[in-house]
Structure 1
Amino acid sequence: MIDMVDYKVNKPVLLIVMDGWGIGRGGPEDAIAQADTPVFDRLWAAYPHTALFTHGPYVGLPAAKDMGGSEVGHLTMGAGMILDQGPTRINKAIADGSFFESPALQQIMQAVANGTTLHLIGLLSDGNIHSHLTHFDALINYAFEQGVKRLRVHALLDGRDVGIQSAQKFVCELEEDFAYINGNEGFDYGFAGGGGRERIVMDRDNDWSKVGQGWNVMVHGQSENRFPSMLAAIDHFRQQQPDLVDQDMPGFVIVDDQDQPVGAMADGDAVVMMNFRGDRAIEITEAFELDDFKGFDRGDMPKLTYAGMMVYDEDRNLPNLQLMGPTKVDNPFGRRILGLGVKQFRLTETQKYPHVTFFFNGGYRQPLDESMEDYILIPSDKGVSFSDAPQMKATEIADKAVELIESGEYGFGLINFANADMVGHCGRMESAIVAVEAVDAAVGRIVEALEKAGGAALITADHGNAEEMLVATKTGFEASTKHSTNPVPCILFDAAYDGSWQLRQPDPQDAPLAAPGLSHLAATLFEVMGHPVPDDLNPSLIEKR
């Protein structure tokens, strides 16, 4: 056990998340190292700091190579402990067979027992951020074993959490499954069509035109882009634009030799959204489930049975059918400090709003007490690539943060800067550098306001990204748009720091539970705020010198 330090600061105490800011190797691939970051450099040199692990078992994911993400990162920070996350729980349930006993899955199977079609929608990827290809394999093989005669996959192409041009690999893996199954009399399994995740379906910014395009491709089989196979579609778009990233591929449908779509949905069909992460699955789920949906014209909507891999909106219980129940956090940090009478705020722009609310809260989206919690959203830019506007809303977030600090009302605040992550996903080094510099400047303004207010801040990240903008290939380097498994920085800013304490450093002998990670931040915040640390939390990172 770490000796508790007699440590207390006046409010406010902030948790500042520089999303996608990892600790890289400092080479030509590292946008953070190449950026001018005087604020970060000064804080790192002058105040207690450490490195946190944010991937694999450190955040409840199954494998050491599994990249962390904003969802699992914020959930782990809010929980203050390591919990099995969506893919871990799904993998365990598949392995022990309980996944296939799900009442929701049985209802899906019953819906197609009379020969209608089972449709699987989801990100074709092994990135383990939104989905995993093994989950497709498991459900496809189970459907075959249960005698489901017809199945269609509506493939959302990744190129973001995996290699930028890796779609063919994932398509071919499922094509092998289909070839085996279709060798049995009466079975018809195959792809219906698809498109890049950034072009259709996987929106989280209420861009209903993007979701509507996906709806027309998947539900109605409507698209000007029509091909005899998935590989033909991918090859076509690659020939048009050789450097096209999978996530940006236009929507398309697969058609037969009569130019008829092979996977349009019809009355009596069943649909499963295979993504386990909710933020980019909720809008298409609303289109399938809400009677009063107004996002776009759904046209003649077939009567379908719809299910999701997990809950995507717990407040509204969407979707109604869930193959796996949600990861529950019984007593997240925000709820705990409400019980102590601490007023709090959450502040970010649209891209990370679910993370500072729903995920940090462990499953609830709205304040539990509106008189004690303020959730503040700065709308993200629309109609422009983040790589073309890499400052995003860092300045506006800093403006609001300074205002909230100066109000003197709040004992805690959670702030997320999305820049290094969202611009990092675009794969452009020069833009990522500007993004990092924008965050550095914004953090500097917040720290200045905190210093005047006598406050403190844990400054960290939920995962890496912008420090690894290039990855080595057999022929050289290519742009990387995915998260990294690098550790992230963690600085405890306090203007009254006297050198008597430090933050615990990583030890090669640490087990995942003990190694400094996101699960230790809740206890650290309790200690910084001067409150006893609850016994059930992973311990604080603060230790005496």
Structure 2
Amino acid sequence: MNSVILLIIDGLGVGKRTQANPFLQVSTPTFDWLKSNFSYRALQASGIAVGLPWGDPGSSEVGHLTIGAGCAVYQNYPRITMAIRDGSFFDNPALMQACSYAKTKASRLHLIGLFSQSRTHASLDHFEALLKLAKQTGVVTVLVHAITDGKESMPQQAKILLEDAQRIMSRVGVGEFASIAGRYYAMDGNEYWDRTERYLNMLLQGERTCETYGAALDKAYSRKLTDEFIDPSLIAISGQTDGLRQVALGLSPDPSSALPIAITMPPNVRMVTMIQYDSGVAAPVAFTPPVINNTLSEILSKNNKRQLKLAESLKGQLVTYYFNGLRQEAFKNEYQIIIPSDKLFDFAKEYQLKTETLLDRFFSALDERIYDFICLNIANLDVAGHQPNMALAQQSIQYVDGVLNRICRQTLAAGASLIITSDHGNIEQMFDPVTGQSNTRHTDSPVPLWIVDKNEYRARTSQEIDQAEKEVSGSLADVKSMILDKMGIDQEKR
């Protein structure tokens, strides 16, 4: 049995034919060749098809989880929202523990969380519920440490989001902003501890004070920084210098973030997290993750198939933890190679990322012919889609088109089956075609799927290609079965 390769081109959606789509403005011979000669369809990668509310854009985490699980898994947003609606949120033991500690110790309750247009990691509805819970339990002082997005939100949306949060605090009657920082510092998931350390120093030692969150944003915007890169700044409010030496409660940062691990280190901190983070976080969890059985990786392992996961650390958790159904440990006969990413501040100078190193490892693995399944993630288009730079997006697309050419040629020569898809849309809409405003958020576009092997080769007409792009036929949850079918693993063995 020949091997099956799953190539996940992160952030690649099936875009509309508008000026906002950079694919229409550059030459893409490999993408065009795939559309014209191999099985091609569009898959749903957003909303209820991947366990999110209707119309919500997908994300890298959600997309990889859905592919690996082979089904839609309810994500954190709908799970927590349902708990708020049925009232169980306000009896949650972990949340009650945090509020009770703050009340009995006459200390402050600190809420640390992302403020974003995307509901994958954050929600103003959840923020309001936390404030109401604090007030109901008699907590007098709630200090809010705002993490600004700029990645899965519009580049400079923080002022509007924080104004909305301020209105919520006024309406509930509790809460005030105590600090602000961009997710580049507060939500680093690539083990760059200098970023996390800078944020923690601000929280614990009171560095870089400013008068208001608006002043911090104005200063950053004057330097042409987006919300992602807001300098960690303590907001000057009366008596706030004790930092986080009492209670910290995480709203919903990135599950791969180093912050929850770091923040449990100082003495006298009592931390509760809304969701499960890395296994190294020793803190009560309000909403534990669901148990996901029979993932693709688990089935392959039980059938004695050897599998390889390849990505750079920027996306490393996606092909391991999320793809494996929220499981940290590798399965039997599963090998994971995660290439350390460079520090990314100016993507324009490093748009190739670590793709060439990944390709070297991938082609070596292909030549070795010892793996039954290889999953490879390429991050370039997703990172480019988060930059408000059309020229850079076009350059990245042309680079990935060349990468794709090399992968297709060598996998076909090796007799392997290549399945190409994405986890969510992003780069296919670089700006709002109506307003012209830059769009650095994920989109709700479907994602492409190609099956590339000798059995799937057939010339397609332009009408067939148009039809494939206009009509969504399936979702990311279907990819698992396609792979198992290609590998000859029948239903009884799944």
Q: Give me the TM-score of the superposition, normalised by structure 2.
A: 0.93
Q: What's the counterpart of residue 417 of structure 1? A: 378
Which digits, 9 at most, give the CA deviation of each residue in 1:65-97, with x for residues without a partner? 211001010000000011211111111111112
Match of 1:226 among 189, 196, 210: 210
The residue number in structure 1 matching 2:263 is 288
1:387 maps to 348
Matched, 1:312 2:289: no
Per the alignment, residue 265 of structure 1 pairs with 243
In structure 2, the CA distance between the partners of 1:376 and 1:431, relative to structure 1 (3 Å rule), is same
Note closer, same or farther for the CA distance 1:344–1:44 as it changes in structure 2 (3 Å cut).
same
Query: Which whole-Å CA distance do the structure 2 matches of 1:334 and 1:164 have between them?
Result: 36
Q: Which residue of 2 aligns with 1:206?
A: 191
The question of whether the paired residues in 2 share the 8 Å contact of 1:203 and 1:210 is answered with yes
Contact 1:121 1:156 in 2 (8 A): yes
In 2, the alpha carbon distance for the partners of 1:383 and 1:531 equals 41
Cα distance in structure 1, aligned partners of 2:492 and 2:159: 49
> Of 375, 392, 396, which aligns to 2:357?
396
C-alpha offsets along residues 189-211 of structure 1, whole Å, 9 cap, x if unaligned?
A: 2000112212x211011111111
Secondary structure in 2 aligned to 1:484?
Answer: coil
| Residue 17 in structure 1 maps to residue 2 in structure 2 | no
User: Structure 1 pair 18/312, CA: closer, same or farther in 2 (3 Å)?
Assistant: same
The equivalent residue for 2:108 is: 117
TM alignment of 1:506-525, pairs within 5 A: 516-525=474-483
Closer/same/farther in 2, CA of residues 233 and 276 from structure 1, 3 Å limit: closer
Partner-residue secondary structure (3-state), 1:25: coil
Whole-angstrom distance in 2 between the partners of 1:22 and 1:507: 12
Cα distance in 1 between the residues matched to 2:96 and 2:109: 12
Q: The residue matched to 1:479 in structure 2 has which SS?
A: coil
Unpaired runs of at least 5, structure 2: none
Q: 1:344 to 1:392 in 2, by over 3 A?
A: same
Q: CA deviation at 1:497?
A: 2.9
The two structures have a TM-score, normalised by structure 1, of 0.85
Counterpart residue identity of residue 207, structure 1: Y
SS, match of residue 268 in structure 2: coil
Q: 1:231 to 1:520 in 2, by over 3 A?
A: same
Residue 436 (structure 2) aligns with: 477
Q: 1:391 to 1:446 in 2, by over 3 A?
A: same
The verdict on how the C-alpha distance between 1:266 and 1:477 changes in structure 2, with shifts beyond 3 A counting, is closer
Q: After TM superposition, give the deviation of residue 472 of structure 1 in Å.
A: 4.6
- Distance apart, 1:435 and its partner CA: 1.8
1:216 aligns with 201
1:377 aligned partner, one-letter code: I
Name the structure 1 match of 2:58.
Answer: 68
Which one is further off, 350-359 or 526-535? 526-535
SS of 2:109's equivalent in the other structure is: strand
Q: Which residue of 2 aligns with 1:50?
A: 41
What amino acid does structure 1 have at the position aligned with 2:191? N
Q: SS of the counterpart of 1:422? A: helix
Secondary structure at the residue paired with 1:432?
helix
Count of matched residue positions in the alignment of Structure 1 and Structure 2: 489
Match of residue 274 from structure 1? 251
Kindly indicate whether residue 230 of structure 2 is the aligned counterpart of residue 249 of structure 1: yes
Contact 1:349 1:377 in 2 (8 A): yes
Following superposition, the deviation at residue 287 of structure 1 comes to 0.8
Aligned Cα RMSD in Å? Answer: 2.4
Give the aligned residue type for 1:322: V
Q: Distance in 1 between matches of 2:357 and 2:241?
A: 45
CA contact (8 A) 2:111 2:250 kept: yes
1:250 Cα deviation after fit: 1.4
Please state which structure has a larger fraction of its residues in helix: 2
Counterpart of 1:226, as a letter, is C
* 386-395 vs 26-35, greater mean Cα deviation: 26-35
What is aligned with 1:491?
450
CA 1:395/1:251 → structure 2, altered by over 3 Å: closer, same or farther? same
Secondary structure of 2:175 counterpart: strand
Question: How far did residue 327 of structure 1 move?
Answer: 2.9
- Aligned position for 1:467: 428
Q: Report the counterpart of residue 314 of structure 2 in structure 1.
A: 351
Instruction: Quote the Cα distance in structure 1 between the aligned partners of 2:470 and 2:244.
Output: 57
The Cα shift of 1:535 comes to 9.7
2:182 corresponding residue in structure 1: 196
Between the aligned partners of 1:447 and 1:466, the Cα distance in structure 2 is: 22
Higher mean C-alpha deviation, range 322-331 or range 73-82: 322-331
Provide the residue aligned with 1:29 in structure 2. 20
Counterparts of 1:175 and 1:168, CA distance in 2: 10
